[in-house]
Amino acid sequence: MANRMTSFKQKLTRKNIFNSIFIALLLLVLFVPSAKALMLQGLMEIGLFKPSLTSKTSTTTTDLAAIKFKTAKGEIVSLADLQGKVIFLNFWATWCPPCLAEIPSVNKLYEQYKNDPEVVFLLVDADSDFPKAQAYMDRKKYKLPVYNFASNLPESIFKGSLPTTIVFDKKGRVSFNGEGAANYSSPKFITFINQLKELKN
């Protein structure tokens, strides 16, 4: 009888330890952005959160001259200045777990095209806090170019949801507009960028 009681107590103790660990991990994922981002990254690695490329290219050209961003040095960049290039535009924030989850895949994509004059990357910090955004990039050893808002944006481009990624073709048409985290270093998305590069101006 004593052996049974000891065995029961041991099982109960193991169960309590397991439950405590599970609850601690759950709380960590819920309240620590980097932990949640890490979990989402893992889900991306196994094939979830692929960007949907089913939408067609917009037939209307956006007024790119009205969309402006600025660098940490205060230089203003109008998207009209980048016409004739494929523009990868990503809105993110350091407090946003889905943003942090997709940044490694954005960085991989950037590394593939950083020396390609036909593809431009703009990562827009939604908090407009250059020091905080740059500190994150430096800590992770990413070379992604960080920008802040320098104009109002049309709601057709950015509704305020983070993360949001927009890709413009060489004619300034929206070819991709995705909200939520996605794996942008997937072969399918790379093929999509390459197809946009091949389009004539």
Per-residue pLDDT averaged across 151-160, rounded?
Answer: 85
The enclosing H or E element of 167 equals: strand 164-168
State residue 78's pLDDT score.
Answer: 94
For 133, the token pair is 């955004």
pTM (two decimals):
0.75
> Each residue of 80-121: pLDDT tens digit?
999 899 999 999 999 998 999 999 999 999 999 999 999 999
H-assigned helices in 121-175 = 130-140
Give the mean pLDDT of 143-161.
Answer: 90
Cα atoms found within 13 Å of the Cα of residue 67, Cβ hemisphere only: 23
| pLDDT score at 158 | 87
Question: What is d(CA 146, CA 121) in angstroms, rounded to the nearest whole number?
Answer: 9
Q: pLDDT averaged over the chain?
A: 82
Q: Tell me the mean pLDDT in the region 115-138.
A: 95
pLDDT greater than 60 at residue 47: no
List the one residue out of 169, 116, 126, 177 whose CA is nearest residue 147.
126
Stretch 123-129: mean pLDDT, rounded? 94
Can you give the pLDDT at residue 49?
53
Region of residue 110 (phi > 0: left; psi between -120 and 50: alpha; otherwise: beta): alpha
Residue-level pLDDT at 189: 95
What digits encode the pLDDT tens for the residues 159-187?
Answer: 889 999 999 999 999 999 999 999 999 99
Q: Which residues are CB-neighbours of 53 under 8 A, at least 6 positions away?
A: 176, 188, 189, 192
Percent of the chain residues topping a pLDDT of 70: 69
Query: For residues 134 and 27, which has the higher predicted lDDT (pLDDT)?
Result: 134
195 pLDDT more than 70 = yes
Average pLDDT over residues 138-159: 91
Supply 124's token pair.
């827009």
Confidence grade of residue 29 (pLDDT, cut at 50, 70, 90): very low
